Amino acid sequence: MSAAVGAAAAGAGQCLVVSGEAGIGTSRLLAEAAREAAARGVAVAEGRATELDRLSPLITLVTALGSGTAPVLDEPDRAELAARSAVPYRQTALLSERIAAYARSRPLLIVLDDVQWADEVTALMVRSLVPALSDARVLWLLGGRPLPEASVMRAAVEGLVEDGARSLAVGPLSDEAVEELATHTLGARPGKGLRDWVAGAAGNPFLLQELLWALREQGRVLVEDGVARVTPGALPDGFRARVARRWRHLSPAARQLTEAGAVLGRPFTVHEAAGVMGVPVREMTAATEEAVAQGQLVAEGPLLRFRHDLFRQAVYDNLTTPVKHALHREAGSVLAAEGRPAAESATHVAFGARRGDAQALRVLRDAADGIVGAAPGTAADLLIRLVELGDPGDPDRPDHVCKALAALSFSGRMDEAMELGEAELAAAPDPTALATVRHGVAAALKFAGRTPEVLTLVDLALADEGVPPVNQAQLWSLRAHTLVDGGLAAGEDPGCAAADAAGDEAVRLGEAAGVPAAVTSGYTARSRAALAAGRVEEAVVLAERATAVAEHSGGEARWHAPRRWLGEALAVSERFAEAEAAFDLGQREAEQLGVPWAVPRLRGHRSRLWLAAGRLAQATAEAEATLNSALALGTPPTAQATRALLARLAIWRDDLASARALLTTARKFAEGGVRVAVDELLLADVLLRDAQAAGDQEAADPGDGLWAILPHWIRPLCYEPGLGPELVRIALRAGLPEQAERAAEASRLLAVRSPRLASAQAAAVHVDALLSGGPGGLRRAVGLWRSAPRPLALAAALEDAAKVTADRDEALALWEEAFTLYGTAGARRGAARARQELRVLGVRRRMPRSADRQAEGWGAITPSEMRVVRLVADGLTNRQVANRLFLSRHTVDAHLRNVFAKLGVSSRVELARLTAVHLAETGAPGTPGADVTEGTSVGGS
């Protein structure tokens, strides 16, 4: 650890995770590291989590960054963080900027102790900030006890270690060290009998000292000839009793103070402790001085904390249950009056509550509703307690269970969700309650991507004739979406007729029962089913209806985020600018409504939009951000679909190793029960197999999964009609004419069902031309592709035409255009093929340096590049820009290289000057430093 501090003083950042059991000395090690760092001129930001930190999002990290004589965060920064609480990734961006800016002036050590109790948002931020600031002069020391499975910090720490953070386990003292400590404590070397007693401390220095002090104070240690021996007798009444004995030396008021602090469970004020005990503050002032002087408590500004948490636990454990209940109830009232977070107050109220306590139930419900968006895990704990305290016959109980199931699922606690759901299913008193709980369990399963189980549970609920129309509407909408998401995995009709019928029933029942959320969800499911079947125009109409219902009714209907499906339908219909506007508005609405799970899905849709428009760099950056967000939020279905998309993007870029790794991970999740995006994974697998075969027919093995669902399931072709010709090529290269015909028939079906979709008509002509092999049909396909906004599909058609053209000049022109289109898009694999063919024709071309390097001047700057330019001009580093826009640093570097070349500049200073002039001349909205994170028109500049 000393070496890490020395490296930090020299300007090298890293992360060190220090763990050990309670009392082992982890906190002492961190404190010594902080002292050494300060002595070396390193700024130190220290924070210690408490058990109740999980109730206050981001408090652990913010407290640390606000500590010290020169804190990293000031009051305006704290206020800005609070204002961004509904959008965690914006909080991440702000923290990253502030920490990086601070570290530029001097090295910084951030110490977080007892991280096993850190809140969820702190865990998420640490997981993001440590790798994001790896180049900054920041040393992170994360210390605490071994992290249990339920700890929100466990996944964060495991991810950091996988990324390269060092892990240091502080083990027990060796036998030699134990003997040395015992000798120092007792003034004599321990004899055999005492060594046997000492072995009971298992090398824990805190417990060892407590044991030795207890024995010595009881007069049980005798020193003879320099050897300490223990007199016969029983072991003192446990280490807990030994610790508790120390409190009996305090005055009654001081004992009251520590008891109140033990119940509060976190650093506390004298005012809070007095309130819990129901005494005037003045009666606690002398007690405070006493407890601090005796070393039981430590004063940190206006707060008091226990010097060692084992003391707090011992004091708390020695309170009788009735006393605990009474003090927790008082604590809840005091904290509510003090304006503390509702969740913290609710936890205390709930502890001291009895079944059916109306006040406690109301407090728990309100607190859970207030925190579920930012800390679903904590909300789940509150909701579970709400269910425990509620009367089994309470008519609101099924709704509470559903909310608890959703919160548990959202926080990744699927085992607990299933345990709660199964218990409630067995105890449901009537058909209505049973249907409500089944809906909650099924929704939780859907969140985890477990499609077959969802459909089984929904069908069981719908089979019950006593289910009210309200519940039926919700169940039918859930069934419809599940069929679209994973119907293939459940063996359902690949034409999506069943999904459409289920969505229609949800709309009918929802309208009759007055459930606009079910109506909205039913319409969006029908829109998605229409897309999967190739009825693009119908999909747009249905998505527009869903959006209109949600806008008119508001409330829960808007939580379904229908704009993401409207944007998807608009994108497929090639109304790209309208689609992106829908995605942008949908993302803003999701952030405002506190439904963070929708944000990565909207970003995933936007990534597909960039791919369709032939902007692979932007598509990859957006997809990477989508995957990171999905993993952070624990949404397996979104993560699976994004892995498939990223694999395909990697194939376009000729990065087959990345594609293999992504699909390998996806298969592991599929084997673990995440059965969604089956068609997309099958498609990516076929494309990767073909790419790896590299044109060798004997090595070609396109598999059989995808071909079996064609031509009826044509959803992938709706997103990208150019896939139809690509699949025909792959089948023909592998010598599989039947599979080629299946793919061709899928393209023909899409053209028939969507006659106004230009790319569908082009694809239908294209596949027939590939099957016939005639140049005339391929020329016609090229002409049709020119009228569709699909540059990659056009480039592929140009390739096909060039291969069968006898005229050298015509072939040269076709290859030249294909090379340019591939290079502009950043499709290195296609560009390499075209370049090789041009070389055969005697023409040498350099591989493109940038996917978007089309021209010079401001007119050539793409929307993504302009967002980067604005932030760089405001003084942000590349890493800060990457964090702000949720891009990879490599993407930001690429954007800047492109910008420098297009504008003819060679420095960031010059770029900032030109940007200021450009914005002033054009009257462009915003300033160089504007927080521009939303997308802009695909076609704009």
Q: What is the pLDDT of residue 933?
A: 30
Flag the least confident range among 243-257, 330-344, 347-361. 243-257
- Is the distance from CB of 721 to CB of 611 less than 8 angstroms? no
**For residues 412 and 120, what is the distance between their CA atoms, to the nearest angstrom?**
12
CB within 8 A of 304, min separation 6: which ones? Answer: 257, 261, 267, 268, 269, 270, 273, 288, 291, 292, 297, 298
Helix axes 536-553, 516-533, angle to 10 degrees: 170
Phi, psi (degrees; rounded to nearest 5) at 693: -70, -25
Q: Residues 685-742: pLDDT tens digits? A: 999 999 998 766 665 677 777 888 888 778 889 999 999 999 999 999 999 999 999 9
In a domain, 886, yes or no: yes
Q: Note the pLDDT of residue 922.
A: 66
Cα dihedral 181→184→188→191 (10° resolution): -10
Pair type for strands 227-230 and 221-224: antiparallel
Listed in sequence order, the residues at least 6 apart from 694 whose beta carbon sits closer than 8 Å to its beta carbon are: none
Judgement on whether residues 710 and 795 belong to the same structural domain of the protein: yes
The highest-confidence range among 160-164, 394-398, 529-533, by mean pLDDT, is 529-533
Q: Which residue has the higher pLDDT, 270 or 209?
A: 270
- Tokens for 51, please give them: 């058990």
pLDDT tens-digit series, residues 911-925 = 887 888 787 766 554
CA distance 427 to 422: 9
Is the per-residue pLDDT at 679 higher than 80?
yes
Residues 735, 637 within the same domain: yes
Question: What phi and psi values does residue 495 have, to the nearest 5 degrees?
Answer: -80, -5
What percentage of residues in the chain have a pLDDT greater than 90? 38
Q: How far apart are CA 272 and CA 294, in angstroms?
A: 21
Mean local confidence (pLDDT), 115-121: 87
Residues 498 and 629 in one domain: no
Q: Are 64 and 109 in contact (CB under 8 A)?
A: no
Beta strand segments in 8-74, E: 14-19, 43-48
pLDDT at 477 over 90: yes
Query: In the numeric block, which tokens belong to residue 374?
Result: 């930012």
Instruction: Please say if the pLDDT value at position 883 is more than 90.
Output: no
Between CA 630 and CA 633 the distance in angstroms is 5
324 assigned to some structural domain? no
Q: What is the domain-level CATH number for residue 421?
A: 1.25.40.10
DSSP string, 536-584: HHHHHHHHHHHHHHHHHH-THHHHT-THHHHHHHHHHTT-HHHHHHHHH
| pLDDT tens for each residue of 271-329 | 999 999 999 999 899 999 988 877 778 888 899 988 767 678 778 878 888 999 899 98
Confidence band, pLDDT 50/70/90 cuts, at residue 30: very high
Helices (H) and strands (E) in the chain, counts: 48, 10
Average the pLDDT over 877-893 and give the result. 68
3-state helix, strand, coil in the chain (%, to 5): 65, 5, 30
Sheet with 221-224: list strands edge to edge.
189-190, 227-230, 221-224
816: CATH: 1.25.40
Helix H, strand E, coil C: the string for 128-192 is: HHHHHCCCCCEEEEEEECCCCCCCHHHHHHHHHHHCCCEEEECCCCCHHHHHHHHHHHHCCEECH
Q: Which helix (H) or strand (E) holds 512?
A: helix 497-513
Tell me the residue type at 273. A
Any domain includes 824: yes
Shared domain check, 872 and 760: no
Residue 206's pLDDT is 77
pLDDT of residue 71: 92
Q: What pLDDT band is residue 229 in, cutting at 50, 70 and 90? A: confident
The span from the CA of 448 to the CA of 329, in Å, is 37
For residue 941, the model assigns a pLDDT of 26
Q: What is the DSSP letter of 116?
A: G
Q: How far apart are CA 314 and CA 243, in angstroms?
A: 6
Residue 898 forms part of a structural domain: yes
User: Both tokens of residue 379?
Assistant: 């909300």
d(CA 550, CA 113): 46
Q: Is residue 872 part of a domain?
A: yes
**Final residue belonging to a domain, choices 319, 334, 358:** 319
Q: Are the beta carbons of 135 and 13 closer than 8 angstroms?
A: yes
Question: How sure is the predictor about 760, in pLDDT bands with cuts at 50, 70 and 90?
Answer: very high
Q: Are residues 139 and 75 in the same domain?
A: yes
User: 129 and 149 share a domain?
Assistant: yes
pLDDT tens string 493-529: 555 888 999 999 999 999 999 999 899 999 999 999 9
Phi-psi region for residue 363, left (φ > 0), alpha (ψ -120 to 50) or beta?
alpha
| Residue 152 binned pLDDT confidence (cut-offs 50, 70, 90) | confident
Distance CA 698, CA 706 (A): 20
pLDDT value of position 932: 30
Whether the model pTM is above 0.75: no
Decide if 799 contacts 833 (C-beta within 8 A).
Answer: yes
- Alpha carbons 436 and 396: distance in angstroms, whole number: 10
The verdict on 627 and 708 lying in the same domain is yes
Indicate if the pLDDT at residue 203 is higher than 70.
Answer: yes
Structure tokens at 59: 């408090």
Q: Can you tell me the mean pLDDT for 460-483?
A: 89
Average pLDDT over residues 743-762: 96
Give residue 552's Cα distance to chain centre.
31
Per-residue HEC secondary structure of 749-769 comes to: HHHHHCCCCHHHHHHHHHHHH
Boundary (domain end) residue, out of 213, 236, 259: 236
CATH of the domain at 133: 3.40.50.300
Rounded distance between C-alpha atoms, residue 109 and residue 9, angstroms: 9
Q: Is it the case that residue 927 has pLDDT exceeding 60?
A: no
For every residue of 804-862, DSSP letters joined together read: H---HHHHHHHHHHHHHHHHHHT-HHHHHHHHHHHHHTT---PPPS-TT---SSGGG--
Domain that holds residue 279: 241-319
Contact 618, 644 (CB under 8 A): no
The DSSP H or E segment spanning 229 is strand 227-230
549-573, pLDDT tens digit by residue?
A: 999 987 777 777 899 999 999 999 9
887-908 burial, b if ≥16 CB within 10 A, otherwise e?
bebebbebbbebbeebbebeeb
pLDDT at 889: 62
Tell me whether residue 327 is in a domain.
no
Contact between residue 253 and residue 263 where contact means Cβ atoms under 8 Å apart: no
Q: Is the Cβ–Cβ distance between 706 and 686 less than 8 Å?
A: yes
> What is the reported pLDDT for 748?
97
CATH number at residue 909: 1.10.10.10
- The predicted pLDDT at position 239 comes to 58
The verdict on 826 and 697 lying in the same domain is yes
pLDDT digits (tens, 9 = 90+) for 235-269: 566 656 766 665 676 788 989 999 999 999 889 99
Cα separation, 329 vs 345, in Å, equals 9
The count of C-alpha atoms lying within 13 angstroms of the C-alpha of 910, restricted to the half-sphere facing its C-beta, is 9
pLDDT of residue 284: 92
Is 932 a domain residue? Answer: no
Q: In terms of domains, do 115 and 11 share one?
A: yes
At residue 926, the pLDDT reads 40
- Report which secondary-structure segment, H or E, holds 915: helix 908-922
How many other CB atoms sit within 10 Å of the CB of residue 668?
A: 10
Q: Could you give the angle at the alpha carbon of 334 between the alpha carbons of 328 and 335, nearest 5°?
A: 90
Nearest to 47 by CA among 270, 632, 56, 39: 56
> Quick one: 205 and 262 in the same domain?
no
- Provide the number of structural domains found in the chain: 6
Q: Rounded to the nearest 10 degrees, how much is the dihedral formed by the CA atoms of 621, 626, 632, 638?
A: -150
To which residue do tokens 């502080």 refer? 170
Domain co-membership, 232 together with 92: no
CA–CA separation, 349 and 263 (whole Å): 12
As given in the structure block, the two tokens for residue 940 are 């704009």
pLDDT averaged over every residue in the chain: 84
If you write DSSP's letter for every residue of 381-410 in order, what string do you get?
HHHHHHHHHS-TT-TTHHHHHHHHHHHHHH
Q: Is residue 486 part of a domain?
A: yes
pLDDT digits (tens, 9 = 90+) for 843-858: 888 776 544 444 467 7
3-class secondary structure, 781: helix
pLDDT in tens, 775-798: 999 999 999 999 999 999 999 999
d(CA 812, CA 304): 79
Average pLDDT, stretch 669-682? 83
Tell whether 158 and 187 lie within a shared domain. no
Which backbone phi and psi does 268 adopt, to 5 degrees?
-135, 165
Last residue in a domain, options 134, 153, 169: 169
